[in-house]
Structure 1
């Protein structure tokens, strides 16, 4: 979908469809009022019949209204005017995207962004562009017949009052860039494990670097052995696929600016290893690299936006497979930090690859480090599928990420990382076990990681519940690319 921003009068628009908002009770937005006046009260007359639900996101498509140049008017409910919020606005935009994808119009004019609330016009434009562009995503890469439709809007004009200056153009670009980052993360997540291997992620990183101003380096097994990444390599022992350690470097800020480091878990398929997972639903373990996918997607977005900030991406990636060489419960391995780890469950492998990456991150003297991982089923039990779990050793960093999630519509919720939980990680034979005692699984997993993050400010995002959907809508969500991008926009001072 192609986007433009234009100033114009609603009643004079000749687009194939004009989209306007209506509040609960038939209250017309300013744009809807203009159309109603030009059509001699046709909108109000239709609404009086009660065919448009008051709930935000309800829609009603009208045809050939008198006095209007457009053949179609799409009415979108915004809910009660006094209760208009980030969520109701997004719901209205998402409903618009669904309707525009099925109508026989080449282009449309969108006037939902030009309302009084919530937030400012730049935010509303950016969110709308992201949602509308994301709605066109299709996961048909490996289908012999692509999902093609002759219907659906291809060009969309955002209609605003007044000037369409640089600030609004930037907002539009950001929305598109985030949607492109989400699409990359979705593509990688949705690919099967026999395609999206550690090598495939490395190739994707190299292509991303080639297309944008990003430097990339890929460490092989021998390189990791020299660095002493015994924890990461222990997970790779059962697989025939060679592990990779991908390093992305985006330098958009000043040379002396300390970078933000993003670390993404890249288990391209997780059988659980010797601690084998149940067979039911195991196909979804191809999504265990969605942390890595979100890092690559975020890099695509910030490079597209040319954000003035320095960012490093670290992606430790391997399969977790059972085999003659695979690690076993009871084995003890030595991490890059020198700490020894007792393997009590080989299905708690994500923290084993992340801990070496977190140690590696020290060399950048980072301003902050954020790791992203589909780490614990316990996070799904605690927070469900709407919210990512957030734990941090710095409350200010946590607050930044929480606010970024709110602004981006990609929410997180902070869980405690208190010293009392560290007592649940004790081993008689090594410095630390890879799982804690019973209970608080998400927290003890973060406690494990915190043992490797004492040199910098660090936050951990557990996206086990938010990285993909199951059931009829099965597929990667691209989260938390919106949260991470919004966080980096704020860090760059460009919000």
Structure 2
């Protein structure tokens, strides 16, 4: 979707030549004498339109140039109300021939409301087409966001559009079937991103990963004919000496459970078990547009978890890159096995903060459903910053405990640690396992098992938590690099085969 921000009064919106006009009307709106204000006044006076969640459609309204006019009530103007109204307005356009639409605030628009509007338009217009033979994208290809004063919200608007570009990329790759989204395919996406200004990309294959001693990562991959890839992306927006934010995304491109085989119903949805990896790629897509003055590293361990004759078995013991040995009691708890080696690897960049993102546990779905991502952290200030970022991005998370007692169940007689600790507090014990591999690095873990995907009629990837992560990164931005200490030029990092 192409977005544009304009300063628009209602009389200007009424005389515009777009195919459709959606007007967001708040409580307490004071109508003027323009055609749309007159219509709003008449509709509210008659009770046919309510500013609290109301929707009214008109065709060929007097003195209104766009043929389709939709009034959508946003109540108190909260982001949630704006999002709901914008979604309803966009849904009313479904099936129309309009190629361009104007979404106009009838009164003042706060930055958070602008973000919610962009987010809603993106959600409403995203169409998956990659593996369909006769699918057509929606005809609507341009949306103008009209506000009373564009200059005051332009930065928010531009960051919101960048975020939505990242969300759409993350949704796209989470939605693709596993045979169209292999580790090699993910590496190709990363390589394309790595060609951008201030970007580097390095792709490591099985030989390089073996040389690093990533025995835990390799154990998960050994049952698949698809070769693993360790994807390393770097965005160099600040001076070289500035410590980066490190993002580590779980990239299990298909998860059968391995020898601990999952039940058949809904196993197809395990194509989205690389939702963490997709969100990291989405963040880097957004960084290409935002270009913030900060360094960011993305590490993605990508592989399949399959149950053939070479697959790792329950009871096997493997050695991680950190040197710790792991007894694999359940091969379906594979995400933590690839992440632990990736976390160890990411520490070589000496990050200011390290955040892993993973569709890790069904237990987190039970705990938090699909509303909030689970947040675990060994630093209060990092956890608080992520909570605030999630709230601002309308991509919320909720902090969960990390008491030492939760690690008791990970003890084993046959290795340094077991990869599971039973059903009780499964999301927490998974996080405690990962915590063993972060040493003293400020670290957070986002369990997105409930938020990265929707089931039912709306089945598909959500692109979360791209918004949360990008908002956190933007909140950490430094001053631009000084002359003589420039960020590393693009293309200078090592690039290996995919």
TM-score by length of 2: 0.90
- Does residue 442 of structure 1 match 2:427? yes
- Does residue 6 of structure 1 match 2:12? no
Query: Does the Cα contact within 8 Å between 2:105 and 2:148 map onto a contact in 1?
Result: no
Query: Does the Cα contact within 8 Å between 1:113 and 1:124 map onto a contact in 2?
Result: no
Query: Does the Cα contact within 8 Å between 1:12 and 1:68 map onto a contact in 2?
Result: no
**1:405, 1:493 → 2: CA distance?**
20
Question: How do residues 58-73 of structure 1 correspond to structure 2 at under 5 angstroms?
Answer: 58-73=54-69
Per-residue CA deviations over 1:179-207 (Å, capped at 9, x if unaligned) read 11111111111111112111111111111
Query: Does the Cα contact within 8 Å between 2:364 and 2:447 map onto a contact in 1?
Result: yes
* Alignment equivalent of 2:100, drawn from 97, 107, 115: 107
Query: Does the Cα contact within 8 Å between 1:19 and 1:110 map onto a contact in 2?
Result: yes
Q: Give the structure 1 partner of residue 494 of structure 2.
A: none
Q: Give the structure 1 partner of residue 147 of structure 2.
A: 160
**2:178, 2:48 → 1: CA distance?**
47
* Alignment equivalent of 1:130, drawn from 116, 119, 139: 119
Q: Give the structure 1 partner of residue 23 of structure 2.
A: 20
* SS of match in other structure, 1:308: coil
- Does residue 42 of structure 1 match 2:39? yes
Q: Give the structure 2 partner of residue 477 of structure 1.
A: 462
Q: Give the structure 1 partner of residue 84 of structure 2.
A: 91
Shift of 1:274: 0.5
Structure 1 residues 241 and 101, CA, compared in 2 at 3 Å: closer, same or farther? same
Instruction: Tell me: higher relative CO, structure 1 or 2? Use CA pairs within 8 A at least 6 residues apart.
Output: 2
Query: Does the Cα contact within 8 Å between 1:217 and 1:248 map onto a contact in 2?
Result: yes
Shift of 1:49: 3.8
Shift of 1:96: 2.6
**2:312, 2:475 → 1: CA distance?**
42
**1:12, 1:232 → 2: CA distance?**
59
Stretches of structure 2 that go unaligned for 5 or more consecutive residues are 480-498
Query: Does the Cα contact within 8 Å between 1:42 and 1:66 map onto a contact in 2?
Result: no
**2:51, 2:445 → 1: CA distance?**
39
Q: Give the structure 2 partner of residue 254 of structure 1.
A: 239
Per-residue CA deviations over 1:245-290 (Å, capped at 9, x if unaligned) read 0100110112111000000000000010010000111111111011
Shift of 1:102: 4.1
Stretches of structure 1 that go unaligned for 5 or more consecutive residues are none
**1:7, 1:40 → 2: CA distance?**
17
Per-residue CA deviations over 1:71-110 (Å, capped at 9, x if unaligned) read 443211113x3xx422112212222332344444443333
Query: Does the Cα contact within 8 Å between 1:258 and 1:310 map onto a contact in 2?
Result: yes
Per-residue CA deviations over 1:305-329 (Å, capped at 9, x if unaligned) read 1111100000001100111111111
**1:69, 1:239 → 2: CA distance?**
59
TM-score by length of 1: 0.91
Query: Does the Cα contact within 8 Å between 1:38 and 1:67 map onto a contact in 2?
Result: yes
Query: Does the Cα contact within 8 Å between 2:29 and 2:107 map onto a contact in 1?
Result: no
**1:136, 1:351 → 2: CA distance?**
34
The Cα RMSD (Å) is 2.1
Structure 1 residues 383 and 39, CA, compared in 2 at 3 Å: closer, same or farther? closer
